[in-house]
Homo-oligomer: A and B are copies of this chain.
Amino acid sequence: MAYDAPITEIEFCLKEIARIGDLQGLPGLGAYDEDILRPVLEEAAKLARDVLAPLNQTGDSQGARLEDGGVIAADGFKAAYEAFRTGGWMGLAAPEAWGGQGLPRAMALGVLEMFHAANMAFTLCPMLSFGAIEALLAHGTDDQKQMYLPKLVAGDWTGTMNLTEPQAGSDVGALTSKAVPNADGSYAITGQKIYITWGDHDLTDNIIHLVLARIPGAPTGSKGVSLFLVPKVLVNSDGSLGARNAVKCIGLERKIGIHASPTCVMEYAGATGWLIGEANKGLACMFTMMNSARLNVGLEGVGVGEAAYQAAFSYAQDRKQGKADGVSGPAPILHHADVRRTLITMRARVAAARAICYACGVSADLAHASDTPSIRATAKAREDLLTPIAKAWSTDMGVDVASLGVQVHGGMGFMSDTLAAQLYRDARIAPIYEGTNGIQAIDLVGRKLAGNGGASMRAMLTEIDETVRLARSTNDPQFVQLAERLWAASKALAEATDWMLARMKAEEQDKALAGATAYLGLAGDVIGGHFLARAAIAARSKETNFRARQIALAGFFAETSLASAPGRVPGIVESGDRFLDNSRALFGIE
């Protein structure tokens, strides 16, 4: 069955939950008007359905391959990329000054979700390019921007991120690649990088690598790391392509998923590169784009989850087993209550993750484009808070929902040729890269909470209070019940937040971090439940079926994820003591 983007759900989520309307008329987003939203989503949905989705399973079974001249993408990917490029999708949210369309990031996230759902392996290529564009926009010199940005924004060239080395994964500061200054101001980059997504390919005639390396004499650790731009093919001053640079892919990883996305081992053998931003500030440069890269990965969870839901729903309509009331002969398994339970679980969780990601995107847009400093500051804090949750909660959800999708398929779900099985394999990378979900939890507690004394989380709790108030004021029993569950869950989140802040203040960091992953899970559930409740309230004025769906999803999420929230506080605030104290007995370390 084909992936068909849930345009109405995406539009509704952007408008009524994430409140993309707040962006209308902002200076940096001049091209945005609410009327443009639906047509753009519809165009993206066509590309997703007609071009990207049909290549998802063939790309998985064929994979990318490394030949003498470099990496060859799976069949059809080059043409698909050409359709993506000519559609102008690379520059959707890039500044108009560089050839982009200057539309909100949040809107681009709606598009990104569709592309990930249709073909995550393909979509990683543009996704990494977004990161390169952002880094250049923030830290490139004017000359660098002139030379590279128009080509990247147009999609004529793609970009990569080169951080990881075998001994330097989560601990980026441990990297050892060298950058030796040349006489002309460029650098000679030498070293090996691993896990480089779309590090080489034949979709475009040039690739712009952003590479972390050390300049001789730089301080050890993360304070001696600089960022360099290293083109695959050197660019002449007139913009034409010159000589091949001394960088190449020397191996492809064998992975359990995203087979069509070449994961490259890259060798830099004195390759010519140029410093981006200041020397030894490379990690800071990476961090400016880290938030948006993490949010983009969160969308992978949403996309894969939605694709898994659609595949399972379709299978449940077709597959006949057993009997059901009102159905003559063998009944589609959709008629069995347990299957429907599984499907609504999938759907509610996807909807919650979508809301968290889009809301984070609108905050990112406001933080960037609002002309009011206080709004920018508040929005930035909200974006920062939501980012690790969007990344980790959504990608964990993606894995769980893909697994449920396999389950709905029964034995077929375990077969290699089934889309559900592919999604289960593909989904598994997203909780790992762009900062493991454990790192996200540490970021949430260590930086996002402790960094501002909990102010941004308290602002979120106030936002939730408003939803509680609105739901109560309907005087509709279903909404009042929803309000009470959301209220109790938010009190649980507040309690856990206070405990985390107290631990960080008391410098009992280990105890806080022992509960960080469980805390992030709770925060995602409560904030997700808040957004679904907001959706249900907004849907009261919509047509009957749409309204019924929103209240069913919000109600289900409330009676499962929100109702269990208070009981999950002990697992956050007590666990650390218990197993850190017993680490000798459990793990043989103090």
Contacts and interface: CB of A to CB of B under 8 A. Distances in A.
Interface of A: 164, 167, 169-171, 174, 194-195, 253-257, 313, 320-322, 325-326, 330, 334-344, 347, 399, 403, 406-407, 410-411, 413-417, 421, 424-425, 428-429, 431-433, 436-438, 441-442, 510-511, 513-518, 544-546, 548-549, 551-552, 555-556, 559-560, 563-571, 574-576, 578-580, 582-587, 589-590
B425 A256 contact: yes
A432 B417 contact: no
A574 B477 CA distance: 14
30 contacts: A167-B320, A169-B410, A171-B322, A171-B330, A254-B415, A254-B416, A255-B414, A255-B415, A255-B416, A256-B416, A256-B424, A256-B425, A326-B590, A335-B589, A337-B511, A338-B517, A340-B586, A341-B517, A341-B518, A403-B403, A407-B437, A410-B436, A414-B429, A545-B584, A548-B585, A549-B586, A552-B582, A559-B578, A563-B569, A563-B571
A452 to B, nearest CB: 22
A253 B415 contact: yes
The 7 closest A-B pairs by CB, nearest first: A548-B585, A564-B567, A567-B567, A560-B571, A552-B582, A337-B514, A254-B416
Given A169-B411, A334-B589, A563 B556 contact: no
Interface centre among A256, A343, A589 (most CB of B within 10 A): A256
Given A254-B416, A552-B578, 13 more contacts: A169-B410, A174-B330, A256-B421, A256-B424, A334-B589, A336-B438, A338-B441, A340-B586, A406-B428, A425-B425, A552-B586, A556-B579, A563-B571
A579 B344 contact: yes
A560 B433 CA distance: 27
Contact of A564 (B169, B171, B556, B571): B571
A579 B589 CA distance: 49
Given A571-B559, A586-B344, A338 B513 contact: yes
Interface centre among A253, A563, A587 (most CB of B within 10 A): A587
Contacts of A518: 341, 560
Contacts of A552: 578-579, 582, 585-586
Given A256-B414, A407-B437, A564-B567, A559 B587 contact: no
Nearest to A512: B337
Contact of A432 (B336, B407, B555, B559): B407
Contacts of A546: 585
A429 B412 CA distance: 10
Contacts of A433: 411
Nearest to A543: B585
Contacts of A414: 255-257, 428-429, 432
Contacts of A341: 514-515, 517-518, 575, 579
Contact of A583 (B340, B403, B415, B416): B340
Contacts of A582: 548-549, 551-552
A544 B586 CA distance: 11
A438 B338 contact: yes
A1 to B, nearest CB: 15
Contacts of A343: 586-587
A555 B575 CA distance: 8
A340 B169 CA distance: 19
A171 B321 contact: yes
Interface centre among A516, A586, A590 (most CB of B within 10 A): A586
A49 to B, nearest CB: 20
A513 B333 CA distance: 13
Contacts of A432: 406-407, 410-411, 413-414
B411 A195 contact: yes
Given A254-B415, A560-B575, A584-B545, A340 B514 contact: yes
Nearest to A547: B585
A424 to B, nearest CB: 7
Contacts of A413: 428, 432
